[in-house]
Structure formats: structure tokens, C-alpha cells
């Protein structure tokens, strides 16, 4: 199946290469495939870890081995005043094309997809910029109020603490029937900024983790959301906790996984202390490798025949 798709993908890339350079606002389809993305998984949003970060919802991306889930994550915008327009899949002419996300002064059209957490299909209601600071609507998004103090509550918008909708992950026939409004179309002519290096690294990490593949997780990704790029420990703990509550993890499996996370956390603390509070690129790579192994072990333990005694 993958070999059959390569000519179509190659043709699309060649066509894009031959197009004239886009203006500051032009939106292009980055890749096209003939298999639709899985439905959006239901997941919880981790709390915003620090002021100024903006939520970027998770999405299904395409790679050599098919669709893989890029976890929703809190990230720092390129500069003050910018908002994130999520990417989306659009079904046109028998193919699914990916419209990449971008940063801009306003939230543009993202296919009418209800990604939740403020991205209900049109615009963003999870917060706003004011006085050089981002202010969070805690009726919609989850923040750590011990470190984030710029908050307000607007309950007139839907309180999406989890993604609860029809779960469609694409726009077009068979998916979400939405078209850009005149206002959203005007936003396409604004100056846009591409995803940050952190966002690109985040996607590459997800691509390298086979447990994120739809063909492996059957639409239930091992890591659905993260509190920050490389913030894997928070999410691994949440997955272990869910496994305990559901009975999928035995006490022995839980103890082993908890010990594994403690060792990784101690290693990170030791490395930071030795390097002035930072991790080197090699150390980041090593920690990510260990967390990928831990992620696979959590998935394996939760889906074996062992269950906790009732």
C-alpha cells in the first residue's frame, strides 16, 4: 500500500516545487494521500506549565509508515501577539491534502475541525493577548495557577476539557462540511510565521516513536498530549495512572514503570545540575530515547493478558 502511494505523493511534491513562491499569506497543501486520517482521539489537556505558552492541538500527520499522532502540546509562540492556526486535512478530488498550521495575528481557517480546548472549529476562545501578556480563559483551557496568574473566566463559550465532538479529523465529503468565512479568508492575506523549531522537533519525535503510529495504536496513541515539548514524564505518569485506575496494570507492573520514570527523572536532574540548568543535545536525545522505550513498555504492559486483581 505504501509503495502505491509514493508516486502520488511524489507528484504532489513536484507540483508544489514548480509553483511560484507564495505570498506572505498563501496557503498550500503540503502533502496528499488517498487514505483518510483516523478520527481524533479523546484526551485530556495537561495544565499550561508557564506563562506565555499557547496550546497547539494534536493532529494526525503522515509519514513513511502511515498516519502517526503528534501530541497536543503547550509551546512558546515565535513572538508576542501571535496566535496559532492549527493545520488540517482537506478531502478534495479523491485525495486528502494537508494544510499546515501557522502563526499569525489572527486565527484563520482550520477546516472547521473541532480540536477542543478553545479550537471549536472557528477561531480560538482559550485566551487572548493583552498588555504584552497572554491571558488564559480557564473556562476552556487547563493552566497551572500556581505559576500562571494571567487568567479570566468566560463561561459563554463551550467548556472543552476533552475533545468531545464527532471526532472528524478532516474537512470535506464524509468529514466536516465547513468553508472559510470572509473574515477567515481575509486572515489568509496577513503575514504568517512558520512553526517554530520546537514544534518541528516535536513532530519529528512523534514520527520516530512507533507507538504513535495509527497502525500500531489503532487510533489510540500512546502519548496523546504533553505539557511541553520534551515534557514526556508528565504524560507517562498520566498514562500509568490511567492504567492503574482501569485495572490494566498489575501492582508489579506499576512499581516497575514508576521506578523507570523515577530513574529518568533523576538522570535529568543530575544532567541539569552538571550543565548549569540545561540539557545538552546529546542528553536530550538520550532522555527521549529512554522515554520512547518507557512509552512502549507502558503500552505493552497495559495491553498484555495481565490485569490487577479486583
Q: What is the mean pLDDT of each run of 10 residues along the chain (310 residues)?
A: 42 36 41 90 90 96 95 95 97 94 97 94 95 94 91 78 63 92 94 95 90 92 85 67 83 88 78 73 79 84 80
Task: Give the pLDDT confidence score for residue 310 in this predicted structure.
Answer: 64
* E runs forming strands in 12-58: 29-33, 54-56
Task: Give the pLDDT confidence score for residue 299 in this predicted structure.
Answer: 84
Specify whether the CB–CB gap between 247 and 308 falls below 8 A: yes
> Can you list the alpha helix ranges (DSSP code H) found in the chain?
2-18, 182-187, 197-208, 214-217, 232-246, 251-274, 281-302
Specify whether the CB–CB gap between 91 and 171 falls below 8 A: yes
Distance from CA of residue 39 to its chain's centroid? 14
Q: How far is CA 103 from CA 67, 109, 194, 230, in A?
A: 24, 12, 6, 21
Q: How many CA atoms lie within 13 A of 259 on its CB side?
A: 6
pTM: 0.71
Specify whether the CB–CB gap between 125 and 140 falls below 8 A: yes
Residue 17: φ, ψ to 5°: -65, -35
SS3 172: strand
Written as nine digits, the cell of 94 is 479523491
Distance from CA of residue 163 to its chain's centroid? 13
Task: Give the pLDDT confidence score for residue 25 in this predicted structure.
Answer: 36
Task: Give the pLDDT confidence score for residue 9 in this predicted structure.
Answer: 42
Task: Give the pLDDT confidence score for residue 166 in this predicted structure.
Answer: 62
Amino acid at each position: 500500500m505504501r509503495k502505491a502511494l509514493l508516486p502520488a505523493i511524489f507528484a504532489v511534491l513536484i507540483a508544489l516545487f514548480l509553483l511560484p513562491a507564495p505570498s506572505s499569506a498563501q496557503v498550500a497543501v503540503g502533502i496528499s494521500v488517498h487514505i483518510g486520517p483516523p478520527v481524533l482521539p479523546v484526551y485530556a489537556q495537561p495544565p499550561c506549565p508557564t506563562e506565555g505558552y499557547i496550546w497547539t492541538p494534536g493532529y494526525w500527520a503522515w509519514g513513511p509508515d502511515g498516519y502517526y499522532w503528534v501530541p497536543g502540546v503547550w509551546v512558546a509562540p515565535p513572538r508576542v501577539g501571535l496566535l496559532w492556526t492549527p493545520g488540517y486535512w482537506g478531502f478534495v478530488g479523491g485525495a486528502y491534502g494537508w494544510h499546515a498550521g501557522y502563526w499569525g495575528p489572527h486565527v484563520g481557517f482550520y477546516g472547521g475541525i473541532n480540536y477542543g480546548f478553545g479550537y471549536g472549529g472557528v477561531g480560538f476562545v482559550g485566551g487572548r493577548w493583552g498588555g504584552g501578556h497572554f491571558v488564559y480563559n480557564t473556562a476552556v483551557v487547563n493552566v497551572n495557577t500556581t505559576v500562571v496568574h494571567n487568567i479570566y473566566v468566560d463561561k459563554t463559550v463551550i467548556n472543552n476539557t476533552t475533545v468531545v465532538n464527532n471526532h472528524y479529523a478532516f474537512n470535506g465529503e464524509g468529514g466536516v462540511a465547513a468553508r472559510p468565512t470572509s473574515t477567515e479568508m481575509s486572515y489568509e492575506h496577513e503575514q504568517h510565521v512558520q512553526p517554530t523549531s520546537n514544534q518541528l522537533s516535536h513532530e519529528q519525535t512523534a514520527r520516530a516513536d512507533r507507538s504513535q503510529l495509527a497502525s500500531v495504536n489503532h487510533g489510540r496513541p500512546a502519548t496523546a498530549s504533553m505539557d511541553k515539548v520534551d515534557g514526556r514524564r508528565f504524560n507517562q505518569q498520566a498514562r500509568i495512572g490511567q492504567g492503574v485506575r482501569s485495572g490494566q496494570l498489575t501492582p508489579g507492573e506499576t512499581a516497575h514503570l514508576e521506578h523507570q520514570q523515577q530513574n529518568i527523572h533523576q538522570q535529568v536532574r543530575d544532567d541539569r545540575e552538571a550543565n548549569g540548568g540545561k540539557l545538552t543535545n546529546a542528553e536530550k536525545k538520550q532522555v527521549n530515547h529512554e522515554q520512547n522505550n518507557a512509552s512502549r513498555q507502558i503500552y505493552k504492559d497495559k495491553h498484555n493478558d495481565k490485569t490487577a486483581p479486583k
